[in-house]
Structure 1
Amino acid sequence: MNKKLPIILTVAGMFLMTTACTDLKEQVLDETLGSTLTDEQTANGLIAPVYALLPELHKHTNYFALQEISTDEAILPYRGGTDWGDNGIYLAMHAHTSVSTDPNIKTTWDNIVQSISRSITAITTLATAKDATSALYLAEARGMRAYYSMMMLDLFGIVFVKEDPGTVSKIIRGADAVSYIESELLAVEPLLQNKATVGPGRLTKAAVWGLLARLYLNAAVYRNIYAPQFTFASTDMDKVIDYTSRIISSGESKLSADYFSIFGNTNHDNTELIFAVDQRPDLNGHNRMAYFSLSGDQFPLAAFPAANGTDGPAITSDFYQSWVQAYGAVDPKRDPRFYKENMSVYTNPADTCLVDADYKVNRGILRGQQYGAIRVNGAFLRCPDGKLRVGKLTNLSRNRNDLPVIFTEKIDFTTAGSGYSSGYRVEKYEFSRVSDTGRNKGEADISILRLADIYLMRAEAKLRKSAGDATALDDVNTVRASRTATTPPPVLTSVTLDLLFRERGFELYWEMVRRTDMIRFGKYEGTWTEKTSTDVHKRIFPIPQTAIDGASNLPGYMQQNTGY
C-alpha cells in the first residue's frame, strides 16, 4: 500500500515542505501537515530528506555520466552537430579532459554535499528526539552519511567530517577516509532492520554489509588513488568475503531468473535488489535511464505519442567487441543479459499490427534496423482494425524520412561517427509505462546494490587472495546459471581477474560501477574509442570551482585535486 503523501522535511533546523519524497516504510509514513508536529511527524520529517536527493543524484546526467561516460561502456558524441553539444562536456568526460567548471560534475558534487548536510542535521536532531523510531532513523542517517561520503571519496578523493552543523568540516583523504567510513558503517549495522521489513529503498543490514564489502574491495585504491599499481591486502579481501557471504547465506535476496525484470517497472519487489533508489511513480520518480539512449524516433508507449528517446549515449565499439570476443561465431544475443526481444516484427516481418497493451520496445543492447510505432503529424499510424502499426523507423522527426534508424557499431567524435544512428544503444531499464514525455515519472528502482554484484565481489576477493580459487568460478557460474527465464549463458570453465572484469561488464553494464571497476582493475588509463589519456590524476574528478571559490575565506581549506 503506497500513497503519494507529503513528507515534512527538516533541513538546517527549518521545516520545508515537499512532495518529492522517499517512501520510508512499506507501511507508508502518513504525516498530516499542520502547525503542531507530533514526535512521530518530526522524526519522519528528519529522515526523509536524507534519502530525498537520491533520484536526482542518480539522474542520467549526474552520477551516471561520471561513472559511465568516462569509461569504455558509454560515449555521447555531438549528435548531428546539433544535439548533446553542451559546450563539449560529454566529449571531455569521455576523453578524460573534464575541467572544474563542468556543470554535471558540479551538480553531482552539490547533491552529495547537500545529502551529507541533511544527514548531519538529522543525526544531531534525532539524537534527542522522543519518538520510538528515532534510534532507527538516527542509524539510517548516520549510515547514509557514510554512503554519501564513500561516493565523495570515490569520485573526488576527499571526505568531509563533522558532527555539529554549525562547525566547519574537517577534510580527510586516503587511509583516514577509509577508516572513517568503515567505522561509521560498523557502528550502525547492529541497529538497522532487514530488507523484508523496510524494502530496498532504505538502508538495511544487508545494504551496509554490501557497502562494507565494496569499501574493502576498493580500499587499496582509496588509500592511494594515484598508485602505479594497487596492492590488495589479504585482510581486506577476507572482509569482502565475510560480508558478501553474510548476504548470500542470509537468504534474504535471491538471484532473478529473468535478468531484465531486475530493471523493470515493477522491480521494487524484485528479490535481487538489496539497496536501490526508490523510483515508483507514486513517489514522483524521475528515472530517465530508459529515455537517454533511445532514438528520437523511437516511441515506446502506445498511449503517449510525445514520449520518445533523445539519441543520447551508446556503447563503444570496444565494449561491444568484448561480447564478440567472448562468444566468437555465436551472436552475443544468445546471452540473456545482452538482449531481450519484445516485438516479434524483428523476427517475423509480417507482425506489423499490435494490440496497444502488447507494444513494448526491446531491451538490452539494440543493434541494426529499429522497428516501432510510427508517428505522423503527432499521431501513431493504425492498422485497419485499429491496432497499432509497427514498422521500420526512420528519422521522420528530423524531416529525414529517407534516413532509417539503423544503429551501427561505429561511433566516435567525427561527423560520420556522430550521426543520429551511430552506436549500439542500451535499453536496460524499462521505459516507464506512465511517462507522457519519457522525461518524467520513472517507475523502475535504480539498483545501488544487488545480489549478482555481491557474488561477483566475493569471486574477485577470492581471486585476489588466490588466483586458483575454484570457488570463485562457482560464484561467477552461479550468477550466469540463474538467468533461467530463457536459456542462460554457458558456464565458464575457468576464471581469471581479466575474465572477471569482462563478466562484471556483461552483468553490470549501465549500472554506474564501470569507472570504479576500471580503476580497480588497472584499466582506466587504457585506450578506447576517442580516449587516449594515460594520466592517473584523472582517476578522480576535479573539485568544482564553485566549491573552491566558496571556501576562499578559509585559506588552504579546499585544494584542487592534482592535475586540474
Structure 2
Amino acid sequence: MTKNIFRTALAASICLGLASCSLKEDLGSTLTKSQADSVITVESLLKNAYNSLQMPYQDFSNSWGMSEMSTDEAVGPTRAGDWDDNGVWRQLHEHTWTADHSHIQGTFNSLLQLQFAATNVMNFHPTAKQAAEARFLRALSMYTTLDLWGQVPFRNPGDNLLNAPKVLKPQETIDFMISELKAIIPDLPGGMGTPAYQANQSAAKFLLMKIYLNKGAFLNRKAPTFDAGDMQSVISYADEITTAGYSLANNYFDNFAYNNDALSTENIFTQQNGPGLSTVRSGNSAYARWKFTLHYNQDPSGWNGFATLSDFYDSFEAADTRRGGPYTIVTANSGLNVGFLVGQQYDKNGVALKDRKGNMLSFTREVALKETGNNLEVTGIRVLKYPPDFVTSNGKAKDGNDASNDYVFFRYADVLLMKAEALLRTGQNGPALIQVNMLRAQRGATNLGTLDLNSLLAERGRELYWEGWRRQDLIRFGKFLDPWQLKTQDDPRNLLFPIPTSALAVNKNLSQNTGY
C-alpha cells in the first residue's frame, strides 16, 4: 500500500504541474521510490508548487475574475460576438452564476492543484525552510478557497490519494491556517532582503493579517463581527512588517512595472515572470494584464475586453496619481498612459487612433453588458495597471510568455490600510485617519477630514483596484449585495460561490452551499 500511495502521489504531482499526462496511466507505473528519487527532487517539487500559483491567481479567468468581475470595479462586456464566452463574464457581474459556471469550476480545481503541489513537497523530507515555504503556499491556497466557497477540501501529507479528501469548515480552516503560519515564520527567510517572489516572514504575517481581519466575515458573511483581540493582532503584525523596512513607492505604477522586482519598495509577495519561465509553467499571464483591456489598434494590440465603471472612476480626485497618466517607457514607446484610459487615444507620434469600424478610438464612460452598436469597440473606461513590458523584447511590447512584470499578491500599502481598518473598528479613529492620510499624501490626493467605514472602503478601492481584493472587501464591509452599475438586484446566497457540480460528483464530503 505504501508503494502504491507513493506512486499515486508522484503521478499526481507530475500530472498537476510538471507535465501533461494521464493520472490513470501513471498509476500503472512500476516506478520504485529509489528510482523516483533520481527523477524528482524536493527543490523541483517546491518549484512546481510556486509555478502552480499561476493558474488560480495570474490567469484572469480564475480567482481574479471571480473577485473583480463580481464587483463594482470591473465589467466584461460582450462586444457583438467578442467576449461572449457563453455569458460567463456577464454572469459574474450580475451575480447570476450557477454551479456549472466554467470559471468557478476552473478556479476551484486550480486552487486544489496548488494545495496538492504544496502538500506533496512535505512527502519528500524537505528542509525546514523548504517545508515552511510549501506550507505557506498551501495556506494561501486554502485562504482563497475559504474566501470563495466557505469550505476547503484538505489532505495531510501521506494521505491515501484514492480516498476523497476531508472538508474543513470555516472555523477549522481558520484555526489551521493561523497555527500553520505562526509555526513556519521562524523558518522562513526575512522580508526585504528576500526576493518578493519567495515566501518570506512578512508574507506570512500579511496573510495572518488577512485572516484575522476577515475572520468574522468568514464565520458569518451576512453579519460580520470584529473581535478586538483579532484587530490587535492585525495592528501588531502591521507594525512588524513596517519594521522590516517596507515603504510606499514614489511612483505607484513602479509596483507593477516590467522591473518591479527592482523598483518596488512595497511588494511583499509576488510571482516571478520573465524570459525562460514560460518553459517550466506553460507561460505567465503578466501580458494578459494589458491585453485583456486594450483595443486591437493600440500598441500593444489588445483583446478589447474588460473595463471599469464610471461610478468607480469618479471616486478618484483628478490629482490622485493612482488614476494614472504618462509612464516614461510606456508612453515613449506607444503613446499609452497607465491607469485609467478614458477619451481619445493616441499613438507614440501623437496621431489619434481609430477603431476597426473607423470611429475615433475614444473610450466612453458609458458601457453596457451587451454592446451591439457601431461604437461597441470603444465603450467603457479601460484599466492599465501593469505597464506593458517594452524592455524585455527590445522596444516591442511583449505579447507573449516572457513579459517580466512580476505578478503582485501582497503590497505594503494594503498593510497600512488593514491597520487603519483594525484601528477604526476598535474606536481609534484618529490614528486610523493618520494612516490613511499618509497613504493619500504619497498618492497626491488631499487629506481626508474624517474617516468612517464607507470612506475607508472607498480608499481601499482606489489603492487596490484590480488587484483581486474587492469582492472580499465588499463582503467584509457589508456592501456586496448592494446594487451598483449594471447590477440591480442580488441574493444572499451569492456571498459564497457554488461548489462546482463536477466537484460534488467526486467528493462526497463536500456539500452544496445554501441557495444553489
TM-score (normalised: structure 2): 0.87
Structure 2 CA distance for partners of 1:450 and 1:394, relative to 1, 3 Å: same
Q: Does 1:369 align with 2:369?
A: no
Q: Does 1:194 align with 2:190?
A: yes
**Partner of 2:271 in structure 1?**
277
Aligned with 1:510 (options 466, 473, 481): 466
Structure-1 separation of matches of 2:339 and 2:332: 20
* Stretch of structure 1 that moved more, 66-75 or 285-294: 285-294
Structure-1 separation of matches of 2:45 and 2:500: 28
Structure 2 CA distance for partners of 1:523 and 1:19, relative to 1, 3 Å: same
**Partner of 1:386 in structure 2?**
none
> What percentage of residue pairs aligned between the two structures are identical?
33
Residues matched between the structures, number:
478
* Stretch of structure 1 that moved more, 453-462 or 153-162: 153-162
**Partner of 1:430 in structure 2?**
387
Structure-2 separation of matches of 1:117 and 1:513: 24
Q: Which has the higher helix share?
A: 2
**Partner of 2:23 in structure 1?**
none
**Partner of 2:234 in structure 1?**
240
Give the Å deviation of 1:414.
4.6
Give the Å deviation of 1:197.
4.3
Structure 2 CA distance for partners of 1:358 and 1:414, relative to 1, 3 Å: closer
Structure 2 CA distance for partners of 1:478 and 1:281, relative to 1, 3 Å: farther
In the TM superposition, 1:384-399 aligns within 5 A as: 389-395=349-355, 398=356
1:266-325 CA deviation, whole Å, 9 max, x = no partner? 00122210011212334223311111111121123xxxxxxx1111111112212323xx
User: Quick check: 1:178–1:223 contact (8 Å CA) kept in 2?
Assistant: no
User: Quick check: 2:234–2:419 contact (8 Å CA) kept in 1?
Assistant: yes
User: Quick check: 1:527–1:533 contact (8 Å CA) kept in 2?
Assistant: yes
User: Quick check: 2:481–2:490 contact (8 Å CA) kept in 1?
Assistant: yes
**Partner of 2:322 in structure 1?**
337
User: Quick check: 1:268–1:280 contact (8 Å CA) kept in 2?
Assistant: no
Structure-2 separation of matches of 1:53 and 1:436: 26
Structure 2 CA distance for partners of 1:97 and 1:202, relative to 1, 3 Å: same
**Counterpart of 1:339 in structure 2: which amino acid?**
G
In the TM superposition, 1:425-504 aligns within 5 A as: 425-433=382-390, 434=393, 438-466=399-427, 468-483=428-443, 488-504=444-460
Structure 2 CA distance for partners of 1:521 and 1:439, relative to 1, 3 Å: farther
Secondary structure of the residue aligned to 2:237 is helix
Structure 2 CA distance for partners of 1:422 and 1:255, relative to 1, 3 Å: same
Structure 2 CA distance for partners of 1:357 and 1:406, relative to 1, 3 Å: closer
Q: Does 1:562 align with 2:514?
A: yes
**Partner of 1:412 in structure 2?**
368
CA RMSD of superposed structures (Å): 2.5
Structure-1 separation of matches of 2:430 and 2:397: 50
User: Quick check: 2:493–2:515 contact (8 Å CA) kept in 1?
Assistant: yes
Secondary structure of the residue aligned to 1:146 is helix
Structure 2 CA distance for partners of 1:241 and 1:93, relative to 1, 3 Å: same
**Partner of 1:210 in structure 2?**
206
Secondary structure of the residue aligned to 2:269 is strand
**Partner of 1:315 in structure 2?**
308
Give the Å deviation of 1:437.
6.5
Q: Does 1:90 align with 2:75?
A: no
Structure-1 separation of matches of 2:51 and 2:218: 27
Secondary structure of the residue aligned to 2:347 is strand
User: Quick check: 2:153–2:510 contact (8 Å CA) kept in 1?
Assistant: no
Structure 2 CA distance for partners of 1:78 and 1:414, relative to 1, 3 Å: closer
User: Quick check: 2:273–2:406 contact (8 Å CA) kept in 1?
Assistant: yes
User: Quick check: 1:342–1:360 contact (8 Å CA) kept in 2?
Assistant: no
Give the Å deviation of 1:172.
1.6
Give the Å deviation of 1:445.
1.3
Structure-2 separation of matches of 1:513 and 1:501: 11
Structure-2 separation of matches of 1:511 and 1:355: 21
Structure-1 separation of matches of 2:370 and 2:38: 60
Secondary structure of the residue aligned to 1:62 is helix
User: Quick check: 2:149–2:498 contact (8 Å CA) kept in 1?
Assistant: yes
In the TM superposition, 1:20-419 aligns within 5 A as: 42-58=41-57, 59-79=59-79, 81-126=80-125, 129=126, 134-163=127-156, 164-166=158-160, 167-225=163-221, 227=222, 229-251=223-245, 253-269=246-262, 270-284=264-278, 285-287=284-286, 288-300=288-300, 308-323=301-316, 327=317, 332=318, 334-342=319-327, 358-372=333-347, 389-395=349-355, 398=356, 400-401=357-358, 403-415=359-371, 419=376
Give the Å deviation of 1:534.
2.8
Structure-1 separation of matches of 2:362 and 2:164: 54
Deviation >4 Å, runs of 4+: 14-20, 35-41, 354-358
1:190-217 CA deviation, whole Å, 9 max, x = no partner? 2111134431112110000000001100
Structure-2 separation of matches of 1:504 and 1:458: 12
**Partner of 2:26 in structure 1?**
none
Structure-1 separation of matches of 2:154 and 2:426: 32
* Stretch of structure 1 that moved more, 494-503 or 439-448: 439-448
Give the Å deviation of 1:250.
2.2
Q: Does 1:12 align with 2:6?
A: no
User: Quick check: 1:432–1:441 contact (8 Å CA) kept in 2?
Assistant: no
User: Quick check: 1:291–1:439 contact (8 Å CA) kept in 2?
Assistant: no
Structure-2 separation of matches of 1:202 and 1:36: 29
Structure-2 separation of matches of 1:470 and 1:436: 46
User: Quick check: 1:316–1:529 contact (8 Å CA) kept in 2?
Assistant: yes
**Partner of 2:501 in structure 1?**
545
TM-score (normalised: structure 1): 0.80
* Stretch of structure 1 that moved more, 286-295 or 67-76: 286-295
User: Quick check: 1:174–1:224 contact (8 Å CA) kept in 2?
Assistant: no
* Stretch of structure 1 that moved more, 147-156 or 196-205: 196-205
Structure-2 separation of matches of 1:360 and 1:55: 30
Structure-2 separation of matches of 1:241 and 1:437: 40
Q: Which runs of 5+ in 1 are unaligned?
A: 1-9, 21-34, 301-307, 344-353, 374-388
**Partner of 1:305 in structure 2?**
none
**Counterpart of 1:76 in structure 2: which amino acid?**
G
User: Quick check: 2:369–2:486 contact (8 Å CA) kept in 1?
Assistant: yes
Structure-2 separation of matches of 1:500 and 1:211: 20
Q: Which runs of 5+ in 2 are unaligned?
A: 1-6, 20-33, 279-283
Give the Å deviation of 1:526.
0.6
Secondary structure of the residue aligned to 1:404 is coil
User: Quick check: 2:330–2:388 contact (8 Å CA) kept in 1?
Assistant: no
**Partner of 2:477 in structure 1?**
521
